[in-house]
Structure 1
Amino acid sequence: MTALPTVLVVAAALIDADGRVLIAQRPEGKQLAGLWEFPGGKVDAGERPEAALIRELKEELDIDVQESCLAPFVFASHAYETFHLLMPLYLCRRWSGPVIRKEHAALKWVRPNQLSDYPMPPADEPLVAWLRDLL
């Protein structure tokens, strides 16, 4: 069995005052286009996961997040065909600025019990049950 490279990505479950979770639709031209995901992205070499998530949320949603507002929650570990994905999911209930769609095809605030109604990448799917049970 050939070892696959491990890719570390980070994601956030942004939770609004009504208990809804933000999901983002992957744009056309990207791998897994049209599927819904939790915002976040790849951790650069030498970058801490929390710093990467703060950077990604600014790039994707134009919001400012303090590291103290990121609560490690659960992680996904999934083997794709050419790499293995390791993805910590952080909960975040506080940020500065309005959420603005900058990179995704669409954004949607969804009740936790409705997250499974949206098609997601295989690595994101197991996270839905955790969020539904917690929230």
Structure 2
Amino acid sequence: MKEIPTSILVVAVALFDSQGRVLLQQRLPGKHHAGLWEFPGGKVESTEMPREALVREIAEELGLELDPALLQPAFFAEEGGNPAIVLNLYTSHQAAGEGEARDGQAFGWFAPDEAAGLELAPMDRALLEKLRR
């Protein structure tokens, strides 16, 4: 019998551009929290370290190449469930390009106050509030 994990580790990045705007993407239809905005990232595979997973996910989803050495651990959030989701947020100020919607998702660069006005996924809203303090 396959064991079901009690939690899933997810990583995301608050990537800031030279103007202080943060990159956000919109959840695709059919996904949990569909239509809500979030920090880009994804699940950590069992063979990966969190930074490696984040670099891979951002390249796959947005075509951006991140330098893992410039990813700084910032905050984490949890969402109950079976399994629970544990989201580790990194921050970074690095030139990574403009990005492209490789999965067809909407994305954009937003001033932090502008981002606060978006319909954000619950954990992402909590993390954005911590970043704005």
Q: TM-score under structure 2 normalisation? A: 0.89
Partner of 1:115: 115
SS in 1 for 2:55: helix
Which residue does 2:78 correspond to in 1? 77
- Following superposition of structure 1 onto structure 2, how do residues 18-97 of structure 1 map, counting pairs within 5 Å? 18-80=19-81, 82-97=82-97
For 1:102, what is the secondary structure of its paired residue? coil
- Distance across 2 between alignment mates of 1:115 and 1:90: 17
State how far apart, in whole Å, the 1-side matches of 2:78 and 2:29 are: 25
Deviations 1:65-107 (A, max 9, x none): 1111101111112213x22111110112114443111125211
Cα contact 2:75–2:127 (8 A) shared by 1: yes
Deviations 1:15-72 (A, max 9, x none): 0110011110011122221000000000001210000000001001101111111011
Distance 1:104 1:36 in 2: 14
Distance in 2 (CA, whole Å) between partners of 1:105 and 1:46 is 27
**Structure 1 runs, 4 residues or longer, greater than 4 Å off:** none
% of aligned pairs identical?
39
Whether the aligned pair in 2 keeps the contact of 1:26 and 1:104 (CA below 8 Å) is no
Task: Provide the alpha-carbon RMSD of the alignment.
Answer: 1.5
The count of aligned residue pairs is 129
Q: Quick one: distance in 2 between partners of 1:114 and 1:16? A: 15
5+ long unaligned stretches in structure 2: none
3-state SS, counterpart of residue 105 of structure 1: coil
- SS of 2:123's equivalent in the other structure is coil
Q: Which moved more, 1:56-65 or 1:111-120?
A: 111-120
- Inter-partner Cα distance in structure 2 for 1:125 and 1:66: 25
Q: 2:33 and 2:84 mapped to 1: Cα distance?
A: 16
